[in-house]
Structure 1
Amino acid sequence: MLQTSTLKFLKDLKKNNNKPWFEKNKSVYLEAKEDMDSFVGQVIEGFGKTDPEIANLHPKDCTYRIYRDVRFSPDKTPYKTHMGAYLNKGGKKVPTAGYYLHIESGSSMAGGGLWMPQAPELNKVRQEIDYSFAEWKKVLGDRNFRKHFPDGLDQGEILSRPPKGYDDQNPAIEYLKLKSFIVTRNFTDAEVQSKTFLKEILKTFASMTAFVQFLNRSLE
């Protein structure tokens, strides 16, 4: 479970997203960071038994900095108001499919997949879905997968027309138009702070193992 103080820090940071406040509360941030790192370590230890490629990761390989890169953003607030971790076979800097944990007061979630891959990788995934559509449907139709992700794949980034080389009559066209292949499951603040949260994260990630493996196979 994550501590109440961690969510409180993130909630307070959202109201006071400026350097003076952050520096004044640096010790609180460090405690929250340690709490997040500890939880991610438990996830790695537990989920590594299901996906051996995750087992040798360390929290520092997976967690993101709280400091925002504002150089090219119109939003100049200096800090992220969430804590995140991405678990995949190479760590967060490797662009392969994996498992994501997002902790934010009122907006926590877990899920993963492959977010906005570059054109060469995107083409490989589309080709694999086209060639192995029966297997893809089986992965997405798995009872445990659907239990944790009843809404299916995120539809936020999608082409208005079929991608080059495909047409509207392709049985897989609704998936071939996607620019990302991700699923998410939301958690309330109470769930994040409950004693069963770790268990629920492990179950959520386990339910999408075949999904992640399919995506990564397509990138090979």
Structure 2
Amino acid sequence: MNPTVPKSVFTFFNKLEKNNNRDWFNEHKPEFKAIEGEVKLFYNKVLEDLNKHDDIDKLKIFRIYRDVRFSKNKLPYKTHFGGSFHRTKPKLRGGYYLHIQPNNESFLATGFWEPAPADLLRIRKEFEMDDEEIRDILANKNFNSIWGNSFVGDEVKTAPKGFSKDHKAIDLIKKKQYIFTKKYTDAEVLNANFINEIDRAFKAVRPYFDYMSDVLTTDLNGVSLV
């Protein structure tokens, strides 16, 4: 039987949002650790399912403690769970992320959050040379029924240095991140089928990852770099 996200996750985080201080959290820490244990089982099942059709070398579940050193928000605790799944480099590129948060704020994300400067330039050069293949992937019915047909994330205002703002693929070239997100309601997250929905969504990303991995492991002439 597949693990599920317990309703207590949302109940606890809603209480924490109203009592985001160390005294309250320390008093309720045993409750949090029990919930965290159930959630870790869920994330590890997502990992197990992913590895049936991909090659994931690391799952990182982020700690609840916020780094407040350089933040205006000094609240000490996060009110969500987050976990990332890293594909095995250098041959495989891209990553998956699962975010569990109450009040219909849960989501999946996938793609390239912070490409290294060399990778970002390589992606942009590929799109400058030929944008047909990536557009075909984004137009795929199964893919865009889940993830939509356009990237989300930051972009430059006009064109990156060295690229023409009038290029036909400037909408792709000016991106600084190449990611997709999909939001879920609390009811969807608590549903027994949610873990299968996650796997279905992540599986649909594979053509995009195959393409981007090929781009990032070859030069502009298609010669392998790994």
Alpha-carbon distance in 1 for matches of 2:211, 2:74? 38
Unaligned runs of 5+ in 1: none
Q: Cα distance, 1:130 vs. partner?
A: 2.6
1:143 corresponds to: 141
Question: Which residue number corresponds to residue 43 of structure 1?
Answer: 46
The AA in structure 2 aligned to 1:192 is V
Q: Could you say what the CA RMSD is over the residues aligned between the two structures, in angstroms?
A: 1.8
Partner of 2:22 in structure 1?
Answer: 19
- What amino acid does structure 2 have at the position aligned with 1:123? L
SS in 2 for 1:211: helix
- The CA distance in 2 between the partners of 1:17 and 1:215, in whole Å, is 41
Match of 1:184 among 172, 181, 185: 181
In the alignment, structure 1 residue 99 sits paired with structure 2 residue 96: yes
CA-CA distance at 1:152 after TM superposition: 2.6
Q: Secondary structure at the match of 2:73?
A: coil
Structure 2: how far apart are the matches of 1:199 and 1:153?
Answer: 24
Instruction: Indicate if the aligned counterparts of 2:138 and 2:149 stay in contact, CA closer than 8 A.
Output: no
Match of 1:81 among 69, 79, 82: 79
Q: Secondary structure at the match of 1:7?
A: helix
Which is greater in Rg? 2
Whether the aligned pair in 1 keeps the contact of 2:98 and 2:109 (CA below 8 Å) is: yes
Kept after mapping to 2: 8 A contact 1:2/1:35:
yes
Q: TM-score, normalised by structure 2?
A: 0.86
Match of 1:169 in 2: 166
Residue type at the aligned position of 2:22: K
Provide the residue aligned with 2:224 in structure 1: none
**Partners of 1:111 and 1:204 within 8 A in 2:** no
- State the Cα distance separating 1:151 from its structure 2 match: 5.7
How far, CA to CA, are the matches of 1:39 and 1:163 in structure 2? Answer: 41
Residues 169 and 199 of structure 1: is their aligned pair in 2 closer, same or farther, counting only changes over 3 Å? same
Deviation at 1:44, TM superposition (A): 1.1
2:126 corresponds to which residue?
Answer: 128
Q: State the identity %.
A: 33
The count of aligned residue pairs is 210
Structure-1-length-normalised TM-score = 0.88
1:45: Cα distance to partner?
A: 1.1
Give the 3-state SS of the residue equivalent to 2:108 in structure 1. strand
Match of 2:154 among 143, 157, 174: 157
Q: 1:120 to 1:104 in 2, by over 3 A?
A: same
CA distance in 1, matches of 2:134, 2:180: 14
The answer (yes or no) to whether the contact 1:125–1:218 under 8 Å persists in 2 is yes
SS at match of 2:87: coil
| Deviation for aligned residue 1:90 | 4.7
CA contact (8 A) 1:153 1:181 kept: yes
| Amino acid of the structure 2 residue aligned with 1:203 | R
Structure 1 runs (4+) greater than 4 angstroms displaced: none
Contact 2:151–2:178 (8 Å) recurs in 1: yes
Counterparts of 1:90 and 1:71 in 2: how far apart (Å)?
Answer: 32
For structure 2, the 5+ residue unaligned runs are 218-226
Could you tell me which residue of structure 2 aligns to residue 193 of structure 1?
A: 190
